[in-house]
Chain A
Amino acid sequence: MRNVVAALLYLFPARFRREFGNDMLATFNERWREQPGVRTAMRTVLDLARSAAQEHLCHPSASSVRPEGDKLVSIFLQDLRYALRTLLRSRGFTAVALVTLALGIGLNTAMFSIANAVLWRSLPFPHAEQLVQVGEVDAHDRSSYWGASYPNLEDWRARSTSFEYLAGVMRDDHILREGAEPVHIFGLAVSHEFFPALGVAAAMGRVFTEAEDRKGTAPVIVISHQMWTRRLASDPAVLGRAIRFGDTAYTVIGVMPAGFEYRRAEYWTLLGQVIEPHFQTHRNVWVLDTVARLRAGKTPADAQREVEAIAAQIRRDHPEVRRDQVVSVTLLSTQLSHDLRPALLVLLGAVGFVLLIVCGNLAGLMLVRGTGRAREMAIRTALGVGGSRLIRQLLTESALLAGAGGVLGIGLAWWATRSISLLTKDPRLLDVPIDATVLGFAAAVTAGTTVLFGVAPAIRATRVDASEALKSGARAGGSRERGRAQRFLVVAEVALCLTLLAGAGLLVKSFRRVLEVNPGFRSEGLVSMRIALPLRYSTATAVSVFYRQLVDRLKAIPGVSDATIASALPISGGDPNGDISIAGRPSSAGELGAASFRRVMPNYFELLGIPLVRGRWFDERDDGSRGRPVIINANFARHFWPNSDAIGQVIRIGPQDSNAWLTIVGVVGDVKQSGLEMNSPFSVYEPLATGASGRFEVAVRTAGEPDNLLAPVRKELRALEPGLLVENLETMSQRITGNIAPRRLNLLLFGLFAVLALLLSAVGLYGVVAYAARQRTQEFGIRMALGAQPGDVLRLVLGEGLKLVLAGVCIGLIATLSLAHLMTGLLFGVAPTDPATLAAVAMLLAVVALSACWLPAQRATRIGPVDALRSE
C-alpha cells in the first residue's frame, strides 16, 4: 500500500511533490500503522487522485511558467491539463469509462496476483529452482501421483548422484493436549535431510541430525514459530521441553524462523523414528512424499533419467514391485500448486477476455466522442495544429483515463484479493500480496489498454477533412467509415462474450452433473463427525465399551433414529488401501489393483442406506473370533467374478507376504468413498469389532432436520466424555458441499466474469445500434413520410443489430470450439464442445443482444417525420 501511495504522489505537480512528498508519505505511514484496511486505502487513493487533479487545475500558472525549461515536458503538461479539463467536462463519459476500466484492470490484476503468488512466485527458500519432488507416477496416467516407498527412497538416495539432499516426507498429525481443549494439529515426519534440502536453519536450537534418524533414539521434534507462539505461549524455555503426542514424549530441539512455511505443518518429527516398521521394508506402499535439492548443474530431466534407471534395477531385483509405474522428477513449486493450475490459468484467460471487451466498449465510446468532436479537431487542424500533436493530445486523454482506471483497479484488486477468504478456505489463496510484480503487471495492462482503446480512435478522429467537417455542421464526415469500425468492435465483443458464456455454461453443467451423482447412500437426514478418544482408552475393550455407550447415548437424543461408528464415512477421502490378492488366482504384486478398506458397525449399511446386493450384512457375532468375514462393493464383485458368485471367495488386501485372508460374506452397492467426483473403485468393509481404534467417525440418522441435531449431539458428547476431540461435526450435506467447494469457487468466479462480459457487450451493442439509428433519423423520417409503418423501421434497426449479433455468435462459436479443450480438466461429465450448452448460451446471448437493440429500435419508430427532417 505504501508503494501505491508513493506512486500516486507522481500525479501531483513536481513542485508540490518536492515540497510535501516525503511528509505526505510519513503521515500516511503513521495513519496506516494505526488504521490499516480497505476503507483507509480506498479513501486515501481517491483523495490523492482528486486533490492531485485540483492541484493541477487551480495552479496552471505553476507549470506554465515552464520551470523545467523543457519543451516536451511542458507540452505534455499542457496536454495533461487539457485532457483533465475535457474529461471533467463530460462527466458521464468519464464515469462510465472509469468504472469499466477499473473493473477490467482490477479483475485482471487480482487474478494475476493470485496466479503469481500460487503458480509463479518462487518458493521462499534459497535457490528454490533447485528444489524438486521425486516420486512414482502411474505409467499410463502421469497425473496420477503415487509417491515413494521408504526402501525405494533409500535406494534412490544411496545410488544416485543428482541430488545434494533427498528427503522423505510423511503426514504425521497428532492431538495436542497442552491447553484446556485438545486440538488436532498437522505436522510432517521428515528425514534429517529435509531442512538442509530446503536450506533453512533453526531460529532457536537446531534441526535433526543423521544419527537421530532411526528407531531406538530419543524422540525429538522441531516446531514452527507459529506453534511456539500460538500453542506454547512463546515459552522462553521451550528448548528441551517435552511435548506429548499419544503416549510418546518428544523433546523440542529447535524452533524454525517465523515465516518458514511448508505445507502448513506446525511441527516436524523424524521419519526414521516414527514410521511404522513394516513401511520401512515394503516397496508397494507409497507412504512418502519427497523433497530433494538437485546438485548444482543438474536438471530435473537428468535426475529423472538417473532415478528411472535405478528404479528399473529395483524392479529387476524385487519381482514383487509393481511394474506399471515410472519415476517423475518435477519442480517442487509446480508440484505444490498443480491442483490449482488449470483453474487459475483458465480464469486468467477469462478476465483477459473481459478486459478485451472493456477495451472494445471504450474504443466504441471514443469513436462516438470523436464524431462529436470532429468540429473541434477540424478547427484546430485549420489553425495549424499538426496531426501528430492532435493524436498525442487524444492519447494523453486515453492514458489519463486508463491511468486513473488503473489506480482504481489496483484498489479493486487489493480489495478482491482480501475478500477471497469469503469464498475459499484454501490457505494458498488467502495470503496474496499486491507486490512490485503485481503493480508492474497492472501498469503494463493499463498501458496495453490505452493502446488498445485509444490509438485507433485517436488516429481516426484526426483524419478529418477540415473544410468538410466545418461545412457539415455537427455531423462529421467519414461517419460511414467510423460506423464500420464500431460494427467490427461489436462483433468482436459478441464473439468474446460467447466464448466466456460457453465456458461458464460448461462449468454450470459440470456442477449440476456433480450434484446429480448418486453417492451410493442416502445423504439426507445425516449428521457426521470425526472423533478422537483421550489416551486413557488404551485397550481394545475400553474402546469397544465406549463405542457401545456412545451409540446408546446418541440414540437417546430425541429425533435420532440410529447412530453408527466406522473407521471412515463416505466422502472423506484419504482411505488406507492395499493390493488385492485372490485365493486360487496367483498374481504378482499390484497386478489386480488396490482396494480401500474401512471398518464398520453391523448397522452401518442400513443406517446409511447402502443396499445389500447379495449375501448378508455383518452381525454382532462377527467379532473376529470366527475367521475374518468381509463385505465388498458391487464393482469389486462384478470385476473379479463377472459370471460367478463372489460370496465365499477368499481374498487378501495388503502385502503379499501377510497371511490375513478374508472371506467374502456380502456384496453391497457402490459408494463414493472419497468424493462425488471420484470413481468408486474397489472397497472392502470389515467389522469394526475386529480393530477397535480411538480415532473414528460417527454418523447419526434423523427423520427430522439434521441441522437441529448439531447442538444436542455436541452437548451429549461433552457430557459423555469431556476429553473427546470432536471435529467436523456437520450434516452430511455440509460435508458434500465442502467436498465440492473448489468447483463451486471456479464456477462462481468464471460465472461472474461471464455475466460481466454479457453486460458489457450488451451495453456496447446498445451504444452502436442507438448511434447508428440516430445517424439515420433523417432517412427514417423520409421513409415514414413516404408511408413506411413503424414495424418496418423497427425491422430495419433490429435487422442491423441482428446481423452484428449473428456474425459475433458465429465467430464466437468457432473460437469456442478451438479453445474448449483448455477447459477439459475443469469439467465433469460434459464434453468441452457440448452442443446443448453451446446452443443454450448462443440463444441467451442472442436474446440479451436483441433486447439491447430493442430500445433504440423502438425509439426510432417514434420519430415524427417532421422532427426527423428538422433534425438536420
Chain B
Amino acid sequence: MANALKPADFHILLALAEGPCHGYGIMKEVERESNGDVRLEIGSLYRLLARLLEAGWIEEAEGDERRRSFRLSRNGRRVLKAEAARLAGLVDLVRARKLLPESGS
C-alpha cells in the first residue's frame, strides 16, 4: 500500500467516497473535484473501473436497470484512506519547508 495511487484512480475512489454513483456521475464528480484537471472520457473511465473492480477496491451497488452503479468496497476505503494519509503527510512536509502558507492561522 506504500505505492502512490494514480491520480485518476484516486479521484474515482474519492468520488465514490460520498456514496454509490453511476458512470456519468463519477465522470462529472472527478472533473469537479479536480477542478477540471482530470477529465475522464468513457473509454478511460470504464477501463479504470474495470481494473478497480478486478482489484476489489470498488464493487457494484444496486442501481436501476438501465445502468450500473458502483460503490467503494471496504478494501477500497482502506486504500483511499492510506493514500489520503500519505498525501496529508506530504502536505505537512511541504508546510514544514515553508512552501505553502500555514492553514488555520
Contacts and interface: CB of A to CB of B under 8 A. Distances in A.
Interface of A: 5, 16, 19-20, 22-24, 26-28, 30-31, 43-44, 46-52, 54-55
Contacts of A55: 47
A532 to B, nearest CB: 50
A23 B47 contact: no
B43 A50 contact: yes
Contact of A44 (B22, B43, B47): B43
Given A16-B50, A19-B50, A20-B50, A27 B45 contact: yes
B26 to A, nearest CB: 9
A816 B42 CA distance: 48
A19 B60 CA distance: 12
Interface string B11-25: 000000000001110
B47 A51 contact: yes
With most chain A CB atoms within 10 A of its CB, the pick from B22, B27, B41, B67 is B41
B43 A26 contact: no
A50 B41 CA distance: 11
B68 A43 contact: no
Interface string B43-85: 1111101100000000000000011100000000000000000
18 contacts: A5-B42, A16-B50, A19-B50, A20-B49, A23-B46, A23-B68, A24-B43, A26-B24, A27-B24, A31-B42, A44-B41, A44-B42, A46-B41, A47-B41, A49-B43, A51-B43, A51-B46, A51-B47
A24 B23 contact: yes
Nearest to B44: A51
B86 interface: no
B8 to A, nearest CB: 11
B46 A24 contact: yes
Contact of B43 (A19, A22, A31, A48): A48
A382 to B, nearest CB: 39
Given A23-B67, A23-B68, A26-B66, A47 B43 contact: yes
Given A23-B67, A26-B67, A47-B42, A31 B24 contact: yes
Contacts of B41: 43-44, 46-48
A20 B51 CA distance: 12
Contacts of A54: 47
Contacts of B47: 16, 51, 54-55
A31 B27 contact: yes
A731 B24 CA distance: 52
The 4 A-B residue pairs with the shortest CB-CB distance, nearest first, are: A51-B43, A47-B41, A27-B23, A48-B43
Given A23-B23, A31-B24, A43 B46 contact: no
A20 B54 CA distance: 13
A49 B47 CA distance: 12
Contacts of B66: 26
A697 B22 CA distance: 62
Contacts of A26: 23-24, 66-67
Contacts of B27: 27, 31
A561 to B, nearest CB: 57
A30 B66 CA distance: 12
Contacts of B43: 24, 44, 47-52
Contacts of A52: 43
A51 B47 CA distance: 7
B42 A24 contact: yes
Interface of B: 22-24, 27, 39, 41-47, 49-50, 66-68
B59 to A, nearest CB: 14
Contact of B44 (A5, A19, A47): A47
B29 to A, nearest CB: 13
Contacts of A43: 39, 41
Nearest to A59: B50
A24 B27 CA distance: 11
Contacts of B42: 5, 24, 27-28, 31, 44, 47-48
A16 B41 CA distance: 16
B87 to A, nearest CB: 26
B67 A20 contact: no
B11 to A, nearest CB: 16
Nearest to A28: B42
A55 B46 CA distance: 10
A62 B27 CA distance: 27
With most chain B CB atoms within 10 A of its CB, the pick from A48, A49, A51 is A51
B74 to A, nearest CB: 23
Given A44-B42, A51-B44, 13 more contacts: A16-B47, A16-B50, A20-B46, A20-B49, A20-B50, A23-B46, A24-B46, A27-B42, A28-B42, A31-B27, A48-B41, A49-B43, A51-B43
Contacts of B46: 16, 20, 23-24, 27, 51
B68 to A, nearest CB: 5
A5 B22 CA distance: 19
Nearest to A46: B41
B96 to A, nearest CB: 39
Nearest to B51: A58
A43 B50 CA distance: 20
With most chain A CB atoms within 10 A of its CB, the pick from B27, B43, B44, B45 is B43
Nearest to B54: A59
A223 to B, nearest CB: 39
A369 to B, nearest CB: 29
A54 B50 CA distance: 13
Contacts of B39: 43
Contacts of A30: 24
B44 A27 contact: no
A16 B23 CA distance: 15
A678 B9 CA distance: 67
A29 B68 CA distance: 14
Contacts of B49: 20
Contacts of B22: 27
A731 B15 CA distance: 58
Contacts of A27: 22-24, 27, 42, 45-46, 67
Contacts of A28: 42
With most chain B CB atoms within 10 A of its CB, the pick from A20, A23, A24 is A23
Nearest to B22: A27
A28 B43 CA distance: 10
Contacts of A50: 43-44
Nearest to A16: B50
Contacts of B50: 16, 19-20
B42 to A, nearest CB: 5
B25 to A, nearest CB: 9
Nearest to B40: A47
Contacts of A23: 23, 46, 67-68
A8 to B, nearest CB: 8
A557 to B, nearest CB: 51
A24 B46 CA distance: 7
A515 B64 CA distance: 65
Nearest to A49: B43
Nearest to B47: A51
Contacts of B67: 22-23, 26-27
Nearest to B67: A26
B50 to A, nearest CB: 7
B34 to A, nearest CB: 16
A51 B24 CA distance: 17
A52 B43 CA distance: 7
Nearest to B49: A20
A306 B91 CA distance: 90
A5 B42 CA distance: 10
Contacts of A20: 46, 49-50
Contacts of A44: 41-43
Nearest to A44: B41
Nearest to B63: A23
A43 B24 CA distance: 15
A47 B45 CA distance: 9
A48 B50 CA distance: 14
A29 B23 CA distance: 11
A246 B41 CA distance: 56
A43 to B, nearest CB: 5
A280 to B, nearest CB: 61
